[in-house]
Amino acid sequence: MTPLLTLVFVFALGAVLPALSHPKPAFAPPSKPCLAPLQWEGRSVEYDHNTGRNTRAMVSYDAQNQRIRLLQQNKRHTPCQKYFEFIYLFKSQVLFQIEQKTKQCSKITLTQAWDPFDIPINSTYEDQYFIGGPGDMIEVQEWSDRKPARKNEAWVGVYTVKDCYPVQETYTRNSSVTTSTRFFDLQLGISDPEVFTPPSSCQSARPEWMDYDC
């Protein structure tokens, strides 16, 4: 090998070896969580780990006015199954349950507090990674309510890095009831604010829940 070729080879080898010996650094932990959008529409699937039931719904989310509307989607082949529309009005502490076919309505007092789809400022950063394969990857961050004095999390949220859209939220309540909700096809804004207005049948609403089975 000529001196010139030897010099080129040594220079190239010196450039490659550091790249091989030093792996790509991990994501630096962010100083604070991102801010999730206040209004969006999309779809969700909630999985109840106890019953094994998946509930699919169209979602209209309005954090500015603390209200959520869920329209259950009929994806089952069950011959006798009811599907409902739910309108949560947290400022009024009222939940409307509307049977989609008959428009029968129940008006229930909301006892739970407003819990927005966002990352609380005091959350614990867990991880950052990509969802999907090469060419279609989406970068997300994972946060939780884990604290040093507690071993397990009661809430874990996965949100996109770019626009802070929710991807998945998992709740564990009373150490036994666990639900995981996935979000997709999200769009900013509310296309029709009237979806939060109960139908006229709710003027004579019943005060108790309606069953899912016919």
Q: Is 14 helix (H, G, I), strand (E, B) or coil?
A: helix
Q: Is 146 helix (H, G, I), strand (E, B) or coil?
A: coil
Strand order in the sheet with 155-160: 105-109, 94-99, 84-89, 67-72, 54-62, 39-48, 177-188, 166-173, 155-160, 138-144, 124-131
pLDDT recorded at residue 12 = 38
| Distance spanning both ends of the chain, measured CA to CA | 86
pLDDT mean for each 10 residues of the chain (214 residues): 39 39 59 96 95 93 98 74 94 96 95 95 94 90 84 90 97 85 97 96 93 72
Q: Is 3 helix (H, G, I), strand (E, B) or coil?
A: helix
pLDDT recorded at residue 80 = 67
pLDDT recorded at residue 20 = 38
β-bridge partners, 129:
140
pLDDT recorded at residue 18 = 41
pLDDT recorded at residue 77 = 59
Whole-number Å distance between alpha carbons of 139 and 11:
36
pLDDT recorded at residue 212 = 73
Q: Of the candidates 115, 118, 113, which has an alpha carbon nearest to the alpha carbon of residue 167? A: 118
**What pTM was computed for the model?**
0.82
Q: 155 near 175, Cβ under 8 Å? A: no
pLDDT recorded at residue 23 = 43
Task: Show the CA angle centred on residue 88, arms to residues 107 and 168, nearest 5°.
Answer: 140
pLDDT recorded at residue 149 = 63
